[in-house]
Structure 1
Amino acid sequence: MANSTALAVSDSQLSPEFIQELLPSAERTALLYHLSFLCLGGFPKLERKIRDQAIETQMLFGSSEAVLLKCAGTSSNLVTSLFPILIKAVEKNKPKLAVAYLEKARKWIKDIIIAVDDMVMRYDHQAQSVKTCTSDVYEEQNTTEEKIKEHTVEMKALEDALAKLETDLKKNESDINAIEERIDKSTEELYYLIINNRSYGYSIFWGFFSRCRSYNDDAIRAKQAELNSLVYEKNSLRNQGWSIKIKQTDLQLKLANCKIQLGEIPSPVHLKEVQKCLDQIRQILVDLNKFWKKVGVTLETLKEKTFVGDVLIEELEDLKEEFLNSIEDAKLDWKRFGECCQRAQGIFSIQSRTAYKFLEVNPSSLSKDEWNKQYESIMAKLKMI
């Protein structure tokens, strides 16, 4: 008789815990698309390409949801229909009924295999499309770099001019500091002369010190003239400094405008990660399909070893208890597998309906604060995964 325990999911190549691998891959896919959309959103041509790929993946997840729902439904049918019928067929010796349901189960499984095969091909095609999109970004990046090279002379001249202005400004500030030190010194000397002049003016020895007073008057006037000259020089240096700063601002704006017009395109590293995630999901579906194919073969083997046409093999009577026990064990595994398929279907449902809402907002319309807020939010979610 057939080794009916082969119907148990635990003996298959695919563990029901495949959901644990599917969840992070699906979540990362949307988040990485979002990052790519943010980083390349300032370039309309590339933004459209990212949007198209994201929408296609969103639709792919919607189709995956339908396939997983079919897997969950088939698992439920095996538990609620096939296994009970097989048990009754063995208990009441009704082989025609059992054979009919085995054929029906084979039809269910064949339909799933075809559907999953189609999904595997679509994921493969989508991964290739993302790869092409990534190449397009690199091509645009190279074109931009060529433009930058063409404008290198202009940008270099602006940068050199800014560097010279920076040097001039530092010298200007140094000269102003030196002038201020000289002004402070001259001011102290002037105060000293004025104070001495007043003391001499009120001295009882006026006649004796009259020449000193005359000398001090001349010294005060000379010091005042020196101080006025220093203040004038300081003001000139200040005006010169403002002029340098104005030139700096002008050149900085020209240089910034030059860079903006050229457009510096970031590398599409996030799209490469999208390809990896899609490939991981594709591989999960490949394993899922191998599993269903194995189940199909197992059912056929069960039929061949248990029935001759639509008649039960005579020796089955002696192994009836073992057969019934193995079916009961398989029921428990298939129920758990069906629940996992439902959870996987739920993951695809969430991803296809809510994870791509970021496409509704044009990234170029975001303020710097809004852009940073979205970026930090995505990175936090990626770290959590």
Structure 2
Amino acid sequence: MSQELMIASRPDFITELLPSARRTALLYHLSYLSLAKFPSLERILRERALETQILFGSSEVLLLKCAATSKNLVSTLLPGLKAAVEKDKSILAIKSLEKARAWITEIVDKVEQMVDRYDKHNQSVASCTSDVIKEKSETEKKLNEVNVAIKKLENDVKQDEEQLKQNSEEIRRIDATMAQLNQELQECIRQASRKRRRLGFFTALVPFVGPLVNAIFGANIDAGLAAKIKALSDQLSQLSTEKSKLRNKEWTIHIRLTTLQLKLASLKIAEGIIPDPIHLKDVQTCLSRIQQILIQIMKFWETVSVMLEALKEETFANEHFIEDSEMKEIFLESITTAQKHWKLFGEACLYAKGIFSLQNKSAYLFLEISPSSLSEKEWQKRYDSVIVELNKISPDPFASKPTAAIAQ
């Protein structure tokens, strides 16, 4: 039984990272403009935004580390394993694997530290939000009569916020279902690989779902197991499509909601009220999402580490392996295929690193000018410009970039 399955061909955690990073700076910019004529709040927000900029600079370095490690796997580890097998040097192979695990352990430690930094930074942004809310309540006391237009916009905003909440809950439900199905699929893959040497080597070297499933369908495995794998794969593909639609819907609601919030902010500013710090709350959401994605990256590398350890213990600890010409040929083929997938993954990490680099260098230049100093016309021009940029952000920045799917 042989067939190609339509499975996502890119790393989901990198895909979701980029829009969140891009959106964060723009939301800061909107918050900054909303606080025009409130200098103490401007100063607090500027400090938080600069902290975020520094954090993104560190994230850029981390992604570069991921890309460099992928490159080392392609250029050093896998060729080293190939040479060790060709020369019947199991000790050399074991040393190569131990070196790779040391690289990966370093990445896991650095990602863990970065997760903690995002957690502390998000708390400081939450504190900034509280300061804005406190100041807002003071200014509202000065208003005797609320504008009818403000009430209507507030109701529209609430409706969109409820839609967004429902959409997010549906995405979480799909994520939970996909996690369970992925676990079942991984177990089926392990069962299949235990029965075929070729699959066993390939599974140990390639932590990407799509290539693994396609390799299994090309190996004439047990019909019952094959049917189960296909059913799980089909379910995952369907859920992935549903999730993609929900992500697009989420983005549409975000854009519409942002427009409504901007109109509401303009009206409240005209009345002398500080707008709700909704964009700061969105900043917190983006930072939390980035933090969760970093946790996924950490788990991914931990999985790779376990795979390499198993490869060392179950393959190269067996001296008979290097004497079996058929097994050697199968293993060498697996290495060649693994190199291709790791190369694509490294390229995806470099692309994401580039996004963080741009965010770090240019996205926060707006902090150099106080919004209080802007004329009404210039203020509106900047507001409109930020909205245009927000609308340009795609929930799928890899739409034209084929990369390797990650086993999560």
**TM-score clears 0.5:** yes
One-letter code aligned to 2:300: F
Q: Please give the alpha-carbon distance, in whole angstroms, between the structure 1 residues aligned to 2:60 and 2:112.
A: 14
Moved runs in structure 1, 4+ residues, more than 3 A? 311-318
Shift of 1:135: 1.4
Matching residue within 136, 140, 143 for 1:145: 140
Q: Please give the alpha-carbon distance, in whole angstroms, between the structure 2 residues aligned to 1:37 and 1:128.
A: 19
Distance of aligned partners of 1:83 and 1:63 in 2 relative to their CA distance in 1, 3 Å threshold: same
TM-score (norm 1): 0.65
TM-score (norm 2): 0.61
Partner of 1:363: 371
Matching residue within 336, 340, 348 for 2:348: 340
Partner of 2:241: none
Shift of 1:120: 1.3
One-letter code aligned to 1:84: P
Q: Please give the alpha-carbon distance, in whole angstroms, between the structure 1 residues aligned to 2:320 and 2:130.
A: 61
Shift of 1:301: 0.4
Deviations 1:143-163 (A, max 9, x none): 3334x27xx59xxxxxxxxxx
Q: Please give the alpha-carbon distance, in whole angstroms, between the structure 1 residues aligned to 2:324 and 2:310.
A: 15
Matching residue within 365, 374, 377 for 2:385: 377
2:274 aligned counterpart, secondary structure: coil
Matched ranges for 1:163-182 at <5 A: none
Partner of 1:124: 119
Shift of 1:17: 4.9
One-letter code aligned to 2:391: K
Matching residue within 53, 61, 64 for 1:58: 53
1:107 aligned counterpart, secondary structure: helix
Partner of 1:111: 106
Matching residue within 6, 9, 33 for 1:38: 33
Partner of 1:286: 295
Q: Please give the alpha-carbon distance, in whole angstroms, between the structure 2 residues aligned to 1:315 and 1:284.
A: 43
Q: Please give the alpha-carbon distance, in whole angstroms, between the structure 2 residues aligned to 1:63 and 1:45.
A: 28
Distance of aligned partners of 1:144 and 1:110 in 2 relative to their CA distance in 1, 3 Å threshold: same
Shift of 1:322: 1.4
Shift of 1:339: 0.3
Shift of 1:316: 5.0
Alignment check: 8 A CA contact 1:117 1:289 kept: yes
More helix per residue: 1 or 2? 1
Shift of 1:20: 2.8
Q: Please give the alpha-carbon distance, in whole angstroms, between the structure 1 residues aligned to 2:75 and 2:61.
A: 21
Deviations 1:295-331 (A, max 9, x none): 000000000011229x564675441111111111110
Who wins on radius of gyration, i.e. which is larger?
1
Aligned identity (percent) is 55
Shift of 1:53: 0.9
Q: Please give the alpha-carbon distance, in whole angstroms, between the structure 2 residues aligned to 1:379 and 1:77.
A: 41
Q: Please give the alpha-carbon distance, in whole angstroms, between the structure 1 residues aligned to 2:282 and 2:130.
A: 14
Uncovered stretches (5+) of structure 1, i.e. residues with no partner: 1-9, 154-258
Shift of 1:41: 2.8
Partner of 1:307: 316
Q: Please give the alpha-carbon distance, in whole angstroms, between the structure 2 residues aligned to 1:71 and 1:138.
A: 39
Distance of aligned partners of 1:58 and 1:312 in 2 relative to their CA distance in 1, 3 Å threshold: farther
Matched ranges for 1:244-263 at <5 A: 263=272
Alignment check: 8 A CA contact 1:306 1:316 kept: no
Distance of aligned partners of 1:312 and 1:335 in 2 relative to their CA distance in 1, 3 Å threshold: farther
Matching residue within 71, 77, 88 for 2:66: 71
One-letter code aligned to 1:32: L
Alignment check: 8 A CA contact 2:11 2:345 kept: yes
Q: Please give the alpha-carbon distance, in whole angstroms, between the structure 2 residues aligned to 1:26 and 1:35.
A: 15
Shift of 1:42: 1.6
1:355 aligned counterpart, secondary structure: coil
